[in-house]
């Protein structure tokens, strides 16, 4: 009995932390979705489902959601494809392997703001490095960040470039846990390297793949820094992400209730998408 009580005391600090910094804000923001609050005002009137009604009729919210989905659809395949190729390459006994592993991880630990500044400069339309190179090669310049067509693909590329190293590390860990004898057995049976890759590596990487897909989906839905810095959400709101829209409602229009509503809906969307992904992708592969 005595030992039990000591245990409660020991977990108390963490429980208090959890209640104050996790549970309370979450419950408060759910409560906010039924209210109208402009931060400065002491009174917070109850408005029922008004915020939800407004959300269903808000074209800009759906545009931001569509922008975010477009981002995810470009960003994730790009990111996972490149990460997989790099991980397989870095898993070979190459010279200077440690250097490359570090180099690819560097952008992950660099501030997203710095990376966005850097790429905004390189992708600048009339005075950027990349268009300068394109023109030297006799090609037409591309309005990377100043056209409604290209803004999201450009941002998806920058985000993929930044996060690549993180997923490379996960894939590397996955690759190293594949038993060597599977490859040996396959080789004896006359399998080509390509067959080995698609029949052994990919299926055996399934747990890592699941983790990477879910993590990058969750990350993707929370897109903020890159468009905030590189395009300001434009042109014509074509790169406004859902989180940027939350930020705009909260801090520009001072509409906390509505911002909380979008936040809650976004959280539910992320939850359901992750569940579906888990259902579709999780397979128990053993040989």
Kindly identify the residues of this chain, within the stretch 229-248, that bind other proteins according to CB under 8 A.
Answer: 229-237, 248
Q: Is 128 a binder of other proteins (CB under 8 A)?
A: yes
Which residue is it, tokens 């917070």? 44
Identify whether the C-beta of residue 250 lies closer than 8 Å to the C-beta of residue 257: no
Q: How far is residue 133's CA from residue 161's CA, in Å, rounded to a whole number?
A: 19
50 is a site residue for other proteins (CB under 8 A): no
Is the CB of 164 or the CB of 229 nearer to other proteins?
Answer: 229
Looking at 29, 91, 146, 206, which residue binds other proteins (CB under 8 A)? 146
**Which stretch, 39-47, 94-102, 169-177, 206-214, contacts other proteins (CB under 8 A)?**
39-47
Length of the chain: 287
Cis bond upstream, residue 222 (ω within 30): no
State how far the Cα of 173 lies from the Cα of 162, in Å rounded to an integer. 19
Nearest to 172 by CA among 52, 46, 63, 84: 84
Q: How far is the CB of 241 from other proteins (least distance, A)?
A: 14
130 binds other proteins (CB under 8 A): no
Residue 220 or 257: which CB sits closer to other proteins? 257
Q: Of 95 and 140, which has the nearer Cβ to other proteins?
A: 140
Q: Is 47 helix (H, G, I), strand (E, B) or coil?
A: coil
39: contact with other proteins by CB under 8 A = yes
- CA atoms of 221 and 212, how far apart (whole Å): 14
Q: How far is the CB of 244 from other proteins (least distance, A)?
A: 11
Using CB under 8 A, pick the residue from 1, 4, 6, 180 that binds other proteins. 6
SS3 state of residue 35? strand
Binding residue for other proteins, selected from 143, 153, 203, 207, defined by CB under 8 A: 143
Interface mask (CB under 8 A) for other proteins, residues 13-32, using x and -?
Answer: x--xx--xx-----------
Q: Is 121 in the site for other proteins (CB under 8 A)?
A: yes
**What is the closest distance, in whole angstroms, from the C-beta atom of residue 149 to other proteins in the complex?**
12
CB of 20 to other proteins, least distance (A): 6
Among 127, 176, 189, 284, binds other proteins (CB under 8 A): 127
Q: What are 3's two structure tokens?
A: 């030992």
| Residues 211 and 189: beta-carbon distance below 8 Å | no
Q: Residues in contact with other proteins, total (CB under 8 A)?
A: 45
- Cβ–Cβ under 8 Å, residues 222 and 247: no
Contact 154, 145 (CB under 8 A): yes
CB-CB contact of 200 with 256 (8 Å): no
Number of Cβ within a 10 Å radius of residue 181: 9
Is 46 strand, coil or helix?
A: strand
Stretch that binds other proteins, among 119-127, 166-174, 215-223, 275-283 (CB under 8 A): 119-127
Q: Are 199 and 186 in contact, with CB atoms under 8 Å apart? A: yes
Closer to other proteins by CB, 64 or 213: give it.
64
CB of 135 to other proteins, least distance (A): 6
In the complex, the residues that contact other proteins under the rule CB under 8 A are 6, 9-10, 12-13, 16-17, 20-21, 36, 38-42, 117, 120-121, 123-128, 135-136, 143, 145-147, 229-237, 248, 251-255
């Amino acid at each position: 009995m005595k030992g039990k009580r000591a245990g409660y005391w020991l977990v108390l600090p963490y429980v208090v932390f959890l209640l104050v910094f996790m549970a309370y804000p979450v419950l408060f923001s759910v409560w906010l979705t039924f209210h109208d609050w402009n931060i400065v005002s002491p009174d917070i009137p109850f408005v029922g489902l008004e915020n939800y009604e407004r959300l269903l009729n808000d074209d800009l919210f759906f545009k931001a959601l569509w922008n975010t989905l477009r981002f995810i659809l470009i960003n994730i395949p790009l990111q996972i494809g490149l990460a997989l190729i790099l991980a397989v390459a870095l898993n070979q006994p190459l010279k200077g392997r440690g250097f490359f592993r570090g180099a690819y991880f560097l952008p992950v630990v660099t501030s997203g703001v710095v990376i966005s500044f850097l790429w905004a400069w390189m992708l600048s339309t009339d005075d950027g490095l990349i268009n300068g190179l394109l023109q030297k090669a006799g090609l037409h310049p591309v309005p990377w960040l100043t056209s409604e067509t290209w803004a999201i693909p450009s941002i998806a590329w920058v985000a993929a470039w930044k996060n690549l190293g993180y997923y490379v590390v996960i894939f590397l860990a996955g690759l190293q846990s594949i038993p060597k004898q599977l490859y040996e057995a396959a080789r004896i049976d006359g399998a080509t390297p390509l067959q080995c890759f698609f029949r052994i590596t990919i299926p055996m990487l399934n747990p890592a793949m699941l983790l990477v897909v879910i993590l990058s989906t969750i990350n993707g839905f929370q897109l903020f820094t890159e468009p905030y810095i590189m395009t300001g959400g434009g042109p014509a709101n074509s790169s406004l992400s859902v989180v940027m829209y939350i930020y705009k409602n909260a801090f520009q229009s001072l509409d906390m209730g509505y911002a909380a509503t979008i936040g809650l809906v976004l959280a539910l969307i992320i939850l359901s998408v992750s569940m579906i992904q888990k259902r579709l992708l999780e397979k128990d592969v053993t040989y």
